[in-house]
Amino acid sequence: MSKLFRPSLAFILISLTCLQGFGLYFFLKGFLLTRQTLDIQATHNDVWEQFPLFPDDSNSSNDNNRRVADHPSTIPAKPSFDRVIVIVIDALRFDFLTPMPGKEQYYLNRLPIIDKLHRSSPSSSLLYQFRADPPTTTMQRVKGLMTGSLPTFIDAGANFASSAVNEDNLLRHVRQRFNSIFFMGDDTWVNLFPEVFDDRNRTFESDSFKMFDLHTVDNRILSHLWPIMTDQPDWQVAIAHFLGVDHCGHTYGPSHPNMASKLSQMNDVIERLVEYVDKDTLLVVMGDHGMSVEGDHGGESVEELMSGLFLYSERPLTLSDPYYQDLFRRIHRSRTEKLGYSIQDIVERLGYDATEHPIASQIHLVPTLAYLLGVPIPFGNLGAILPDVLIPDTQSVLPATKSQVLLHMAQQLRRNALQVHKYLETYWHHTQHPGFAPASLSPIYQHLWSAERMFTNIHGDNIDLIEQILFEYDAFLMSTIKYCDAIWAQFDVGSMVVGIVILAMTSCATLFVTFLHRPTISVQHTAIIWFTTLTVGLVGMLAFQSAQVHGWFEKMEIGDGLVAANCIALAVLFLIMSNRPSTTTNQHMAVSLDWISLVVGALIHAFTLASNSFVIWEDRGTRFIAATLCTPWLLRSLPSTATPVTAFKTTLSAPILVLVWIRLTGLTGQCREEQFPHCSYIHNGYLKFGDDSGAMLCYILVNAVLIAYILPRFFIQHVNRPTISGFLYCFSLLVVFVRQVADIYQNSPEGPEVQLSPAAITTLIKALDVYAPRAVYAFTSSTTIYALMTFKSNRKSCSWLLLTMWSVMLAMLQRPLGSTIILSVPPLIDLLTRHQHPSTIYTRLALLYVIGQHLFFVTAHQATFTSLPWKAAFIGFDDMNYYGGATLVALSTLSGHIVTWLSWLVLLSESPLTLVRRQLSIYLLLTLQSIPTFLSAIFVLILRRHLMTWKIFAPRFMLQGLLGMGASLAAITCERLLR
């Protein structure tokens, strides 16, 4: 007879958690996109290199310098600039710098110098709507601005820890031509290009993450910039990256007096810099991205994508003849159409005439500056030269006929196209990616070959033919951008399917073992299944890899295959477990009817994650579900014999009060971009003195009563012997209250900005922003350790101690209104535990789970990257700490879920549950999170080519993955403490 193995509940929970973690790992391994970088340095290409370029030559000839003698003569360009000033104003949205008469906003009409120069010197200045490629994180944008490459989604996560760029870039070539390069501002540049900014006497970087500080970085830049302009006659390149506008947006939003002052300061800087611009100097003013209506960035809303680009010099930068201006407009219009930019969306969202200035993708900056500065175009560039700047050297070509000017433009676009063609061929040879095979690229190459054939047929002044050549080269360049943007969105479907299989089997195993009160399995069966699964899994994966099926298992190694096979084998073992006879089995099945109905409801709700509309409006759906769950709780709580007054006091008041709390807190939240103009929240959590000063004073008074009287009494009631812990709790409440008031004051337009010069004020602010939060972190950590060590002796008191202390710490990481809502959770949980019959335990636990989602939204969070609370990273830190900051951002984002996971422990400690009911309660927590995680992965796989994948479905799936792992760890903790 085979020996039986009976796993413990702890073993089952840990195993299911590991299975879910590996399932998410494999799915994300196939889902997150990557692009292989090639560290190959470009050289100057001759205009007629490899001319004419045809498909048979591109594959058969190794002579890279072959020429056809009968080609048009080369038309040289204007001499390159000897000096360049690059001014990056972080988060400079285009409507910040274009005049908008009649509109009164703090961020409008504050940069009149741009319009003044553009109107007074139209041939010496160029103004573009500078469209960023998402994600609009600063590191990604700086990298794209200097390499001319397209970003991939996985690179967005590197914004907190920038690493050196390992591919060819514009700064590398600038450094080879110019000896004297000065840099000031955002240290992201130094992190990305350390070999360029290695001269400490000419590099003055500043920390880029002090978002509350609007002036230190900008003032430090100015303290170095003006001496460089006046006292350093040998300077050649000056780069300054100002951060004040971006920090003002993050801290106060765009509609704030501080934004007006920062933009006016930038206007003064540009006015003064113009004095140092001559015919040999180029001034470049640009934004790296825009700014959302909330003042943040990172996603792909119109407000975040549209920044500005302004070029100025005392010498002509473009041709003013009406014919050329019309040609340039036609090229820009063609690019806008081919790249799919919506003029209507820009007009509707930003309110200016988007047809007045051309749209230039940020990817076009690299080849444009390379042309103007006389350096090679970086090897991996995919951008196209802006046609406006293509001016021939008229002194070498006399007279400069229209055909010769057009020939110069066509020749430079050919040089640009040849560089892109070389990159595509090299990428194919290095990666053997099927998408870059010559046959796959043939439709794009047709434009290039067509332009080459036309060039061989030029005889005389054939203006129409040269125009066709221009548009064919441009069509090749635009088609390449569109194609590469799509091909690098190539998923490893095999890895994603493996992840989904593991997640599906994990969910099924969780449901199956739920109904096994005493699960057992044969050791012999375990060995057979393990061996069979490992063999079949590895053979199958190797077969796919040997067959080289595109998009299947390309990112998986042998080690990954072994791990996946082990995970599937473990899940199969859970699915074939049997139940040993027990006298409690019937009871177990009887009490699980509510459990089953709740799981079915969760399954139905999880299917809404397949709809972008449901995901966008998930905050309202969550509020509806939470209110709905109060109804069965209320009905099940009706006593059989009691007067209405007695019934209300004992049982009915709790669900009614919880319902009222849900409706009241549902009035606040943060609107998603997609919800405008139908978002109906009355508040986003930011509070400020102004027209509603009376309301703000009432809010502060209510919080004073809550924090000074109600919460301390509540703490004493539920925590036994609250001597030291009570003092720590009250001190933490005081810190939260003071920070609430300070936050309200700092965000008020009427509140004067605090200057940090007096030592007393500096000490006070540092104590409030750094030392007081650190004390709260220390107090919470120490009470957590104490509660965990003494939990066995006093479960109820310790569980309440954990909930109350953590609720205070998490409240400190929220906006003022969100802070109050988090502080109200412990009294809410008291309603869920008071005078309740054990038969309603599953309904109350399910309601608690939904309340966690509800708290996520009402504390002004959304499943979008732009809504991440970056400010939380600086609470308790005066400098950016990558790991500490990331932890605080995660805690702030998941605060609602964390307090409900702790509340789960409180409910199970307070309720007189049998072993069976407690196990079912713990399994319920796992199931409610594993089901939407598994289904969300399926929906993302199906919708991976959906237009809204990266904007809606991907962020929601990643949030769900975090919640799934967090719930699993919470279930393990509950089991260990309550056993």
- 708-713 long-range contacts, Cβ below 8 Å, gap at least 24? 708/733, 708/737, 710/827, 711/804, 711/823, 711/826, 711/827
From 330-334, 815-819, 869-873, the region with the lowest mean pLDDT: 869-873
For position 163, what pLDDT does the model report? 64
Helix, strand and coil content of the chain, in percent to the nearest 5, comes to 60, 5, 30
For position 59, what pLDDT does the model report? 40
| Residue 906 CB neighbour total at 10 angstroms | 25
For position 752, what pLDDT does the model report? 43
d(CA 180, CA 427): 34
d(CA 699, CA 817): 9
User: For strand 281-286 and strand 306-312, is the pairing parallel, antiparallel, or unpaired?
Assistant: antiparallel
pLDDT at 47 over 90: no
d(CA 208, CA 878): 12
Packing angle, helices 825-833 and 711-718, rounded to 10? 40
pLDDT at 805 over 90: yes
Rg, the chain, Cα only: 32
Give the tens place of pLDDT for each residue, 63-94.
444 444 456 778 888 899 999 999 999 999 99
Specify whether the CB–CB gap between 142 and 189 falls below 8 A. Answer: yes
* Tokens read off for 310: 């302004």
Among the listed residues 918, 937, 929, the one whose alpha carbon sits nearest the alpha carbon of residue 969: 929
Specify whether the CB–CB gap between 208 and 186 falls below 8 A. Answer: yes
Between 531 and 898, where is the model more confident? 898
d(CA 492, CA 480): 22
Average pLDDT over residues 905-931: 84
For position 952, what pLDDT does the model report? 85
Specify whether the CB–CB gap between 4 and 338 falls below 8 A. Answer: no
User: CA-based angle 438:440:446, to the nearest 5?
Assistant: 75
* Tokens read off for 473: 């080269």
d(CA 349, CA 351): 6
For position 809, what pLDDT does the model report? 94
For position 644, what pLDDT does the model report? 61
Give the tens place of pLDDT for each residue, 399-441.
568 888 999 999 999 999 999 999 999 999 988 777 888 988 9
pLDDT band at 111 (very low <50, low <70, confident <90, very high): very high
Across 480-592, where does the E strand assignment appear?
A: 519-522, 578-579
Cis before 655? omega within 30: no
Give the tens place of pLDDT for each residue, 920-961.
888 888 899 999 999 999 999 888 767 677 778 888 999 999
Between 666 and 582, where is the model more confident? 666
User: For strand 125-131 and strand 203-206, is the pairing parallel, antiparallel, or unpaired?
Assistant: unpaired
Residues sharing a CB contact under 8 Å with residue 771, sequence separation 6 or more, in sequence order: none
For position 393, what pLDDT does the model report? 85
Q: Which residues of 528-538 are buried (b: 16+ CB within 10 A; e: fewer)?
A: ebbeebbeebe
d(CA 284, CA 302): 23
d(CA 440, CA 421): 14
Average pLDDT over residues 575-604: 68
From 146-160, 170-184, 292-306, 507-521, the region with the lowest mean pLDDT: 146-160
Give the tens place of pLDDT for each residue, 703-756.
888 888 889 888 888 887 667 888 889 999 999 888 888 777 766 655 444 444
Specify whether the CB–CB gap between 144 and 362 falls below 8 A. Answer: yes
d(CA 52, CA 73): 14
Average pLDDT over residues 172-190: 93
User: CA-based angle 305:309:314, to the nearest 5?
Assistant: 180
d(CA 392, CA 402): 11
Packing angle, helices 795-812 and 816-823, rounded to 10? 170
For position 951, what pLDDT does the model report? 77
What is the set of domains in the chain, with CATH numbers? 78-391 (3.40.720.10), 617-912 (no CATH)
Q: How far is CA 81 from CA 174, 280, 282, 744, 794, in A?
A: 12, 5, 7, 50, 77
HSE-up of residue 676 (Cα within 13 Å, Cβ side): 13
For position 869, what pLDDT does the model report? 84
Average pLDDT over residues 118-147: 89
For position 765, what pLDDT does the model report? 67
Among the listed residues 255, 193, 263, 268, the one whose alpha carbon sits nearest the alpha carbon of residue 225: 268
For position 583, what pLDDT does the model report? 46
**Residue 49: strand, helix, or coil:** coil
pLDDT at 804 over 90: yes
Residues sharing a CB contact under 8 Å with residue 887, sequence separation 6 or more, in sequence order: none
Q: Mean of the per-residue pLDDT values for the chain?
A: 84
Q: How far is CA 323 from CA 327, 567, 599, 843, in A?
A: 6, 67, 69, 74
Between 61 and 269, where is the model more confident? 269
For position 545, what pLDDT does the model report? 61
Task: Please tell me what DSSP assigns to residue 949.
Answer: I
For position 182, what pLDDT does the model report? 96
pLDDT at 692 over 90: no
Packing angle, helices 841-858 and 895-910, rounded to 10? 160
Q: How far is CA 407 from CA 376, 400, 470, in A?
A: 20, 11, 9
Between 300 and 105, where is the model more confident? 105
Amino acid at 291: M
| Residue 482 CB neighbour total at 10 angstroms | 13
Between 297 and 98, where is the model more confident? 98
Among the listed residues 384, 483, 382, 481, the one whose alpha carbon sits nearest the alpha carbon of residue 442: 483
For position 154, what pLDDT does the model report? 52
| Helix H or strand E segment including 156 | none
pLDDT at 641 over 60: no
Between 671 and 220, where is the model more confident? 220
pLDDT at 551 over 80: no
HSE-up of residue 591 (Cα within 13 Å, Cβ side): 22
Q: How far is CA 110 from CA 330, 341, 629, in A?
A: 31, 27, 52
| Helix H or strand E segment including 109 | none
Cis before 378? omega within 30: no
pLDDT band at 760 (very low <50, low <70, confident <90, very high): low
Q: 401 φ, ψ to 5°?
A: -75, 165
For position 399, what pLDDT does the model report? 55
**Residue 516: strand, helix, or coil:** coil
HEC assignment per residue over 697-721: HHHHHHHHHHHHHHHHHHHHHHCCC
* Tokens read off for 900: 């409900």
Q: How far is CA 583 from CA 516, 521, 913, 923, in A?
A: 13, 20, 17, 21
For position 793, what pLDDT does the model report? 85
pTM over 0.85: no
From 117-121, 217-221, 534-538, 604-608, the region with the lowest mean pLDDT: 534-538
Average pLDDT over residues 826-848: 84
**Residue 842: strand, helix, or coil:** helix
